């Protein structure tokens, strides 16, 4: 677990347990369609983020840096001590606590999980070991919150990933806030109040209604990341599947990549299953056979799955070429 070791208002230094490379995270974001960050790898030792803080949905900006084994987080906006300016120049200063924002960043970068044991997974499983060598220090980079992951799941239904990324970016431009982070503007996705009450032009009526239901669930606390991770995974998935338009695949995405659950094998993610079939030299394996393999990755099933999906995209570029729907 990453532990803050500096004072509350200045940059916070994190004690990172296990392999981690911020440059690997920025390279991942460069090709991660939902993030819409093709420039992310330009400064591999500096990652700029902007997002609604879960504590009160105030937009905050965050600069994450790594020098050697030291990772620091500097928060601007949302803490009552800095100023954030929206697209119309309005003061968006909020009250989200500094420490809670740092904790959210830790979850986004999977630094809230002790990764010391992850190399052992690679020693047990040569396929994962090869991927760990190819992508040293890469941990899952999650959506900023389960709320944003759920919005992505809704927007991305029945369209290609690149199309969904454009719609997410357009929604952020229309309703989000622009914050200056380490000298550059970064746009935060709109918080649930803005999404619930604002116009959702350019989206089918059914998706707009489902997005407003997601926003309401977030405001009601039903998408709180800590709460979702405290539940048994099947219970959490069952709750998420009660949201309009959220099926098993979307629920698994929200839990694993929104709440940052480190040990979830998505039983409905065909891309991962196809890559496992190729990587392990299998011939039409059953879901149960794939599950047995994934059980060997515990307690880092989400992490191992990410490595497999990352290699698939690097080898095929299927997402960048717009060939795949989010599933």
Torsion, Cα 125 128 132 138, to 10 degrees, reads -130
DSSP letter at 189 equals P
Q: What is the largest CA-CA distance in the chain?
A: 58
pLDDT at 325: 52
Task: Report the chain (327 residues): mean pLDDT per 10 consecutive residues.
Answer: 44 93 91 55 81 95 92 77 34 62 96 98 98 98 98 94 91 94 95 95 94 98 97 97 97 98 97 97 98 98 97 86 54
Residue carrying structure tokens 């991305």? 156
Do 272 and 326 touch, CB atoms closer than 8 A?
Answer: no
Q: CB under 8 Å to 290, separation ≥6 — which residues?
A: 273, 276, 277
Residue 219 tokens read as: 């405001």
What dotted CATH number matches 3-316? Answer: 1.10.340.30
pLDDT at 91: 37
pLDDT at 68: 83
**CA dist 322 → 30, 165, 172, 228 (Å):** 15, 11, 21, 32
Residue carrying structure tokens 């918080």? 191
Do 149 and 143 touch, CB atoms closer than 8 A?
Answer: yes
- What is the pTM assigned to this prediction? 0.88
């Amino acid at each position: 677990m990453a532990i803050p070791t500096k004072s509350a208002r200045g940059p916070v230094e994190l004690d990172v347990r296990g392999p981690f490379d911020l440059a690997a995270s920025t390279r991942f974001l460069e090709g991660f369609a939902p993030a819409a960050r093709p420039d992310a790898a330009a400064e591999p030792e500096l990652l700029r983020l902007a997002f609604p803080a879960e504590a009160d949905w105030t937009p905050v900006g965050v600069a994450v840096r790594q020098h050697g084994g030291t990772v620091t987080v500097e928060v601007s906006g949302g803490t009552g001590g800095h100023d954030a300016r929206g697209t119309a120049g309005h003061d968006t200063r909020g009250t989200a606590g500094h420490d809670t924002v740092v904790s959210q960043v830790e979850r986004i970068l999977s630094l809230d999980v002790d990764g010391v044991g992850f190399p052992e997974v690679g020693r047990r499983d040569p396929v994962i070991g090869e991927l760990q060598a190819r992508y040293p220090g890469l941990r899952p980079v999650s959506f900023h919150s389960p709320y944003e992951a759920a919005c992505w799941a809704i927007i991305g239904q029945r369209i290609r990933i690149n199309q969904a990324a454009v719609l997410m970016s357009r929604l952020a431009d229309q309703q989000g806030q622009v914050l200056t982070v380490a000298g550059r503007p970064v746009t935060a996705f709109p918080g649930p109040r803005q999404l619930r009450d604002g116009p959702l032009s350019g989206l089918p009526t059914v998706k707009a209604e489902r997005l407003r239901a997601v926003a309401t669930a977030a405001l009601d606390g039903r998408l709180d990341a800590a709460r979702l991770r405290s539940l048994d995974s099947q219970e959490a998935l069952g709750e998420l599947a009660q949201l309009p338009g959220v099926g098993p695949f979307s629920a698994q995405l929200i839990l694993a990549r929104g709440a940052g659950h480190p040990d979830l094998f998505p039983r409905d993610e065909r891309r991962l299953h196809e890559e496992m079939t190729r990587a392990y030299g299998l011939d039409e394996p059953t879901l149960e056979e794939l599950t047995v393999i994934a059980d060997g990755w515990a307690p880092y099933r989400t992490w191992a799955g990410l490595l497999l999906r990352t290699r698939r995209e690097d080898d095929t570029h299927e997402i960048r070429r717009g060939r795949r729907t989010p599933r």
